[in-house]
Structure 1
Amino acid sequence: MDYWILALSWAIFYTTHSVFAASKLKRILKEKLGSAYKWYRLFYSLFSLLLLIGIGYVSIQIPTKKILPGSDISSYFGYMAATFGTIILVKSSKAWSWKEFIGIKEESDTKELIQSGWYARVRHPLYLGIILIFLGYFFVASSISSLIHLVCLLIYLPFGIYFEEKKLLQTFGKTYETYQKNVTALFPKLKK
């Protein structure tokens, strides 16, 4: 039962993430809230943080049941994957404003499509970083809970990417279409 609660918690988190990020909802709230809309992103960030804390709480309440025997090799690969994922997250997040992302600073009306750094290699480096962190966690912990975290993420990502790219196509049009054709979604092409 604990594993179902953990999976349901992730389903709630990912669903609310997609709903709150939807352009249509943002337009409606902008009309209804007027000048108070500037607090929407901060509210959303705090709400997401609370949900993540809840998922963490649920996760640590579940007794650890290993599904793979732990080894130095799996731990090594796990730490390497998580470290590389963290590096990708940090490096790619330098391309945009953390204050805008969290909601401390109001989003600017003029947006520019980022196509440099990690964004020149993959369209969604943040998702790639998170996949590597969750994968690393699974290799280190080798537990059912860590597998559920990873599987829930992998189930959500195609949907999350679909909705995000739909929004990016509306925002950037042909520029984003060209970018889509030249840069892979998650995994960088190996150079010849």
Structure 2
Amino acid sequence: MDIRNFMEYITLALGWIVFYVIHSLLANLNIKRKFKLWMGAYYIWYRLIYSTLATFLFLGLFVYAGSIAPDWVYWPSDSSTYFGYMLATLGTIIAVKSMKGISLGRFIGWHAHDDLNEKEQLILSGWYSHVRHPLYLALILIFLGYFLYVPNFASMIHLMALLLYLPLGVYYEEKKLVAIYGDAYIDYQRNVPPILPRFKK
């Protein structure tokens, strides 16, 4: 690895830090209330702006990573490639199943709404009965699968940044969810694990 590649990997890691900091800040209830005061009636489009910004940053990081000359962590084999593909596929399936019962339009923001006044129903069925954050589990599997499929330093940074962020991400997201749903979410926390599923008969 030469110094240029090293600096590009540092830039990629910093990019992920910026992405996750923005992700957590803009999802914070206090920050959203301040934006609502500033945006007024236009706050109903906050979710769409948030989703658009997150999508561009997310895709931009992968485009940037693709521009870096690859340095391999190990040489991929047929078995690691196949296993990576299967993990990524499983993660995609979990992500799709987790969205069942959730309005995609509201989740992305296509359907304009005030998410500070309109409380979504707390979903406790499907994958949410096994794990509180199935979308995070899906991302772990997809990023891990991607690393096994393309085992270079860029994909390793994608994975490591996600794993390092998740404890903080879960902590701040659950503070928000407890503030929104109160005792119902606290009881849910007691019975369902955060990311690693526990299947009950």
Residue 140 of structure 1 pairs with residue 146 of structure 2: no
- Segments ≥4 residues shifted beyond 6 Å: none
Q: For residues 62 and 171 of structure 2, what CA distance do their matches in structure 1 show? A: 27
Structure 1: runs of 5 or more not aligned: none
Contact 2:119–2:180 at 8 Å: present in 1 too? no
User: 5 Å matches for 1:125-136?
Assistant: 125-136=134-145
Distance 1:168 1:159 in 2: 14
Give 1:147 deviation, angstroms: 0.5
In structure 1, give the amino acid aligned to 2:100. Answer: K
User: Aligned pair 1:38/2:47, yes or no?
Assistant: no
Is residue 132–residue 192 contact of structure 2 (8 Å, CA) maintained in 1? yes
**TM-score w.r.t. structure 1 length?**
0.96
In the alignment, the residues of structure 2 paired with residue 110 and residue 66 of structure 1 have an alpha-carbon distance, to the nearest angstrom, of 46
What letter is aligned with 1:74? S
| Paired residue total | 192
Q: Deviations over 1:33-81 (max 9, x none)?
A: 2111111111111111221222122101111111112111111210110
Amino acid of the residue matched to residue 84 of structure 2? Answer: G
Aligned residue among 75, 81, 98 for 2:81 = 75
Q: Which amino acid aligns with 2:12?
A: L
Aligned to 1:87: 93
Change (3 A) 1:53 1:110: closer
Please state whether the residue corresponding to 2:95 is helix, strand or coil: helix
Percent of residue pairs bearing the same amino acid type: 48
Distance across 2 between alignment mates of 1:174 and 1:47? 33
Contiguous gaps of at least 5 residues in structure 2: 1-6
Coordinate RMSD, CA, aligned: 1.3
SS state of the match for residue 122, structure 2? Answer: coil
1:26 is paired with a residue whose SS is helix
Pairing of 1:1-192 with structure 2 (within 5 A)? 1-107=7-113, 109-191=118-200
Q: Which amino acid aligns with 2:97?
A: K
Q: How far apart in 2 are the matches of 1:73 and 1:53?
A: 28
Higher deviation after alignment, 105-114 or 45-54: 105-114
